[in-house]
Amino acid sequence: MNLFDYKTLKLESAGEHVLVARLNRPEVRNALDTQMARELCELWTRLAEQPGEIRCAVLTGAGERAFCAGADLKERDGMSDADWRAQHEVLERSFAALAECPLPVIAAVNGDAYGGGLEIALCCDFVYAVREARFAQSEVRLGIMPGGMGTQNLPRAVGERRAKELTLSARPFSAEEAASWGLVNRVCERAALIDETLACAGAIAANAPLAVRQAKKSIHYGLQMDLLTGYRFEIEAYNRLVGTDDRLEGVRAFNEKRKPVFRGR
């Protein structure tokens, strides 16, 4: 995958198989505007269609103040109802593209994640965060409600009752609280955040890429089904791997007591 230039995103490689994407509007705490939403949608779509050698992505924010402060309200100031809905459609597509991305995406939350910023993190597969990070599903304070899968992903992460408390009160909460509820997987010291996230991303990228994608898909969609239907979906995903070169290589390497060389085939 070629690392094309974006106006609001900064892309860099971290080894052969890991991509780091930074939300790059630090002057406005990486607020999500229309341009960023379009570029995020394009990025996740490109990773789905033509990942090349990329097997895992890390999403973080530029600077130390914020991962993402939410939607850019200055851009929205004075919008007509029709313009607001049209702009929100662009944001919706970016959230959906991230949630549907077949490659694992880890959020490295380097600062505050409010409103749409929290929703971006929740659309990732899991979250590492700095100890200083604060989170909030804060939309009701503005006369709106979460519109980036927040009412769906937050209860899946922390449970229905806690999600109602957090969404309806709009109260901020800490990284430690988020970790204790299951929203954040690991709380990191600031200097270690990217290194620890990249270590995990590297471990994922070292595994068979087709197997990783199928396992992600099975977890993601299986949780939306009853147990036995989810299990049947799992077996369909499993059987897609039986005829792959990577399955043959994995078993052969195990028996030859060597590290496998996976090709994504």
Phi, psi of 22 (to 5 degrees): -110, 130
Q: Which member of 21, 66, 113, 119 is catalytic? A: 119
Same domain, 103 and 223: no
Same domain, 215 and 187: no
For residue 9, how many C-alpha atoms fall within 13 Å in the half-sphere facing its CB?
A: 24
Compute the residue count for the chain: 265
Same domain, 141 and 249: no
The mean pLDDT value for 60-87 works out to 92
Judge whether 264 lies within some domain: no
Same domain, 91 and 115: yes
Catalytic, 119? Answer yes
Residue % of the chain over a pLDDT of 90: 92
Catalytic, 61? Answer no
Same domain, 174 and 150: yes
Q: Are 106 and 54 in contact (CB under 8 A)?
A: no
CATH of the domain at 225: 1.10.12.10
Among the listed residues 182, 121, 128, 122, the one whose alpha carbon sits nearest the alpha carbon of residue 154 = 122
Q: Residue 106 has which token pair?
A: 């880890």
Catalytic, 71? Answer yes
The mean pLDDT value for 197-206 works out to 98
Among the listed residues 137, 31, 49, the one whose alpha carbon sits nearest the alpha carbon of residue 91 = 31
Name the percent of the chain in helix, strand, coil, to the closest 5.
50, 15, 30
Pairing of strands 18-23, 56-61: parallel
Same domain, 128 and 195: yes
Would you say residue 1 has pLDDT above 70?
Answer: no
CA terminus-to-terminus distance, the chain: 17
Same domain, 98 and 79: yes
pLDDT given at position 2: 56
pLDDT given at position 3: 62
Same domain, 169 and 250: no
Query: What's the structural domain count of the chain?
Result: 2
Structural domain that includes position 94: 9-205
Q: Which member of 129, 139, 178, 234 is catalytic? A: 139
Q: Which amino acid is at 7?
A: K
- pLDDT interval class at 73 (50, 70, 90): confident
Q: How far is 10 from 23, CA to CA, in rounded Å?
A: 7
Same domain, 174 and 222: no
The tens digit of pLDDT for each residue in 163-191 reads 999 999 999 999 999 999 999 999 999 99
pLDDT given at position 75: 87
Q: What is the chain's mean pLDDT, rounded?
A: 95
CATH of the domain at 44: 3.90.226.10
Same domain, 86 and 139: yes
Among the listed residues 124, 129, 114, 104, the one whose alpha carbon sits nearest the alpha carbon of residue 197 = 129
pLDDT given at position 174: 98
Catalytic, 39? Answer no
Q: How far is 207 from 250, CA to CA, in rounded Å?
A: 9
Q: Looking at 205, 226, 247, which one is the last position of a domain? A: 205
Same domain, 126 and 230: no
Q: Which member of 71, 97, 99, 175 is catalytic? A: 71
Q: Residue 224 has which token pair?
A: 């939306």
Q: Are 6 and 43 in contact (CB under 8 A)?
A: yes
User: What residues are paired with 61 via a beta bridge?
Assistant: 23
Judge whether 261 lies within some domain: no
Q: Residue 205 has which token pair?
A: 């990228």
pLDDT given at position 77: 87
Judge whether 133 lies within some domain: yes
Q: 29: alpha, beta or left, given left = phi > 0 and alpha = psi -120 to 50?
A: left
Same domain, 132 and 176: yes
Would you say residue 32 has pLDDT above 70?
Answer: yes
